[in-house]
A and B are shown apart, each in its own frame.
Chain A
């Protein structure tokens, strides 16, 4: 089974600064998908960014970007110009290629991000 590891239970960043959240994963597949989700206290998981493993270019969405290192099986999230509204739990997730056994997400344990004024 694929495992997703987030080694930072908590991170803190000052407003307007940059922070990087780490994620590593284990898989024997060559083609897969990776996601970062944000979960605020409302509990609803919100998609932040996604990356297809076959694409070498790192995904970017406004202030959010990833550093995807396929050989190292690393998928870190960089948040630039942090805002108070970025404070939340962040989950890294892996989705295996299409298969008969489904294509649900495999989540890490999460990183709690605190943003200070």
Chain B
């Protein structure tokens, strides 16, 4: 089966600019997650969708980050305006319902804010 697709793979922007990341999960996976992985740390959950509804966005900095999954399939994560501390890898993952049998991750987008 095809994996979780993410684009772009790399992005360099200046602070205060905006950026968007795209994720297409595995076909049939109802649950989609966005994680932020800062260099030297483990991934941290930003937002979790179940179909097109938000299940958990408690750690999403809502003043600058937004995410949507309009048709319950692919998703977009946006940062506006970006700060230096947003430099990280943004990982998308999907799971069949609750993730009991595991989660499938994409290769991530490495964002550098200069």
Q: Which A residues form the contact surface with B (CB < 8 A)?
A: 4, 33, 35, 37, 42-47, 50, 91, 93, 95, 98, 101-110
Complex interface: chain B residues within 8 A of A93 (CB)? 42
Contact assessment for B42 and A108 in the assembled complex, using a CB-CB cutoff below 8 Å: yes
Contact assessment for B108 and A43 in the assembled complex, using a CB-CB cutoff below 8 Å: yes
Q: Is chain B's interface secondary structure helix, strand, loop, or mixed overall?
A: loop
B: contact size bracket: 20 to 34
Contact assessment for B107 and A42 in the assembled complex, using a CB-CB cutoff below 8 Å: yes
Q: Which B residues form the contact surface with A (CB < 8 A)?
A: 3, 33, 40-45, 48, 55-56, 58, 89, 91, 93, 98-100, 102-103, 105-108, 110
Q: Shortest beta-carbon distance, B51 to chain A, in Å?
A: 13
> How many Å lie between the Cα of A98 and that of B98 in the bound state?
7
> How many Å lie between the Cα of A35 and that of B104 in the bound state?
13
Complex interface: chain B residues within 8 A of A107 (CB)? 42-44
Complex interface: chain B residues within 8 A of A104 (CB)? 33, 45, 48, 56, 99
11 pairs, A vs B, C-beta closer than 8 Å:
A33-B100, A35-B102, A43-B89, A44-B107, A45-B105, A46-B105, A47-B103, A91-B43, A102-B45, A104-B33, A104-B99
